[in-house]
Amino acid sequence: MGLDIGDKRIGVALSDPQGILASPLTIINRRDDMVDVEAITNVVCQYQVEQIIVGLPRSMDGSIGEQAKKVQVFTQKLCEHIEVPVEFRDERLTTVLAKRLMRDTKKTAGKARHDDAVAAALILQGYLDEGR
C-alpha cells in the first residue's frame, strides 16, 4: 500500500497481488490523527496489506522540512497501531506529476481520480519498480 499524507487528505494506493502495478484506491479526508490511523488500519485489514510505503516530502535539497516532520510524526502513530512494516520513500514532485497526469487524462478519458491518490500510486509504483 502506498500513502501520500497531506494536511487535508491522505491518498491511498494499492498494488496488484504480484506487486507489479500500483493503482489509486481512495482518499481519506483528514480529521484527526486517531481517526485517520483507524481509517488506514481498516484498509490494511480489508485488503490484507503486507507493507506500507509512505511518501516523505523532502525539500528540494533533500533535507527534512516541516511537512516531512509532520509525516514522520503521523507515521509513528500509525506504526503504534499496526504490525505491517512501514518504509519511507522520497516523494519530491510526485504531486506535481500526478496533477499533470490527471490533467492529461481528463482530456482523453473525461474522468480522473483525485491527485493525492494518484500521487500515492506514483510513490508505490516507484517502490515496486525498484524491487525488480
- Residue 102 has what pLDDT? 59
- Residue 59 has what pLDDT? 78
Domain count, the chain: 1
pLDDT digits (tens, 9 = 90+) for 7-33: 999 999 999 999 999 999 999 999 999
* CATH at residue 71: 3.30.420.140
pLDDT digits (tens, 9 = 90+) for 77-128: 999 999 999 999 988 756 655 566 656 555 444 444 477 888 899 899 989 9
Domain interval for residue 13: 2-130
DSSP track, the chain: -EEEE-SSEEEEEEE-TTS--EEEEEEEE---HHHHHHHHHHHHHHTT---EEEEE---TTS---HHHHHHHHHHHHHHTT--S-EEEEE-TTHHHHHHHHHHHHHHHHS----HHHHHHHHHHHHHHHHT-
pLDDT digits (tens, 9 = 90+) for 31-76: 999 999 999 999 999 999 999 999 999 877 878 889 999 999 999 9
- Residue 108 has what pLDDT? 45
